Amino acid sequence: MNLASLKDRCTSKNLMSLPITDLFQPFRLGPLELANRIIMGPLTRARAGKGDVQGPLNAEYYAQRASAGLILSEATQISQQGKGYAWTPGIYTDEQVAGWKLSTDAVHKAGGLIYAQLWHVGRISHPSLQENEKLPVSASAIAPQGKAFTETGFVPFVTPRALETDEIAGIVADYAHAARCAKTAGFDGVEVHSANGYLLDQFLRDQTNKRTDRYGGSLENRSRFCLEVMAAVCDVLGSDRVGIRLAPVSAANDISDSDPWGTFSYVVEQLNQFKLAYLHCVEGQTIGPRDIPEGFFVKLRSQFEGVYMANNGYDLELALKARRENLADLICFGRPFIGNPNLVEKLRTGEPLLDAPRETWYGGGAAGYTDWPA
């Protein structure tokens, strides 16, 4: 779209003064041709059925949002052990694969593309969500502050069990199995969730990793698990269909690090060996102010030898600025996609966005899920 037509269709005076943007133009991501640079971020909606299986309603939801350049699925557990919230989907059984295929087929029929986000929550769980009510696992036996979302409501987190060294290879294999399942289900690629205080993040950060084996202590050791997972998933799908999500300065799920820059600059440098499809960074807190250390993500992006996807609190003005100043290749929008299935077109034309109330975000049926006007 040229500047003249953008001016004709846009209702916002300040946006009309902005230069021509490539935000709405196609973008090559590995073997995929994205229709635009606007990414639908992973949004937990807690609407999976029995057996953590997705169904026709979920397929309708994703198909409605297929105009995004790429959809990142809601976080999807790689095993029963990886589950941390009620009614979230899995991608490790035949039934779950069949359920997800409804969504991938619907998105592809609508002209879209979709990645699966692979997830193990680690300690952000509760025995009631685990097989035989076992303890959740983590890098170390340190309880998080907060409460778990279970089928009977919110309950306090428990102290997790520290994984034994010889158990970690089995979880790496679970990631590889989930990647194979995603391929069978028709996903165009996968994103490994290594952010927001979940299992891989728990190993990366020194607040939650007090191990003394080969997975703890030094930066090399703390990053080993994450890098082994990336190698295994890339081996299944090819690295040009694999991305990773990091949240270096987020305190989500009661996590922190004594040296975020040192930790994550090292991790990003190590990720370059894989030639990934992209690096997806949560810039700041997941809910709340961006509050980013000056220059942090500019420097981090410069260290990554590939496509950089920016996320957190982006609106149209901030997205246009990011592209104008080449601060990111792809812009990820999350919550705006809940109430605006046609978000790309609304951003293109300057139409006001609908703000989905928080009570519609998690659980339930079609209300607040697939009944938003397109």
**281 in any annotated domain:** yes
% residues pLDDT > 90 (the chain): 91
Q: What is the pLDDT of residues 201-221, one digit of tens each?
A: 999 999 999 999 999 999 999
Q: Which of 115, 198, 308, 314 is catalytic?
A: 198
Place of tokens 């609508």: 110
Q: With 90 as the cut, is the pLDDT of residue 97 above it?
A: yes
Residue 148 bridge partners (DSSP): 155
pLDDT of res. 20? 84
Residue 16 pLDDT > 80: no
Residue with tokens 């069949």: 98
The domain total for the chain is: 1
Distance, in Å, from the CA atom of 187 to the CA atom of 364, rounded to the nearest integer, reads 25
- pLDDT value at 11 more than 60: no
Asked if the structure places residue 372 within a domain, the reply is no
Q: 265 is in which domain, residue-wise?
A: 3-360
In a domain, 219, yes or no: yes
Residue-wise pLDDT tens digits, 320-336: 999 999 999 999 999 99
Structure tokens that stand for 318 in this block = 């901030």
Q: Indicate whether 369 belongs to any domain.
A: no
Residue in the structure block whose two tokens are 């309880």: 143
Evaluate if residue 224 carries a pLDDT over 70: yes
For residue 192, is it within any domain? yes
Asked whether the whole model's pTM tops 0.85, one would answer yes
Pairing of strands 189-193, 114-119: parallel
> What's the pLDDT tens digit per position in 104-141?
999 999 999 999 999 999 999 999 999 999 999 999 99
Annotated active-site residue 308? The verdict is no
pLDDT at residue 302 above 70?
yes
Are 148 and 125 within 8 A, CB to CB?
A: yes
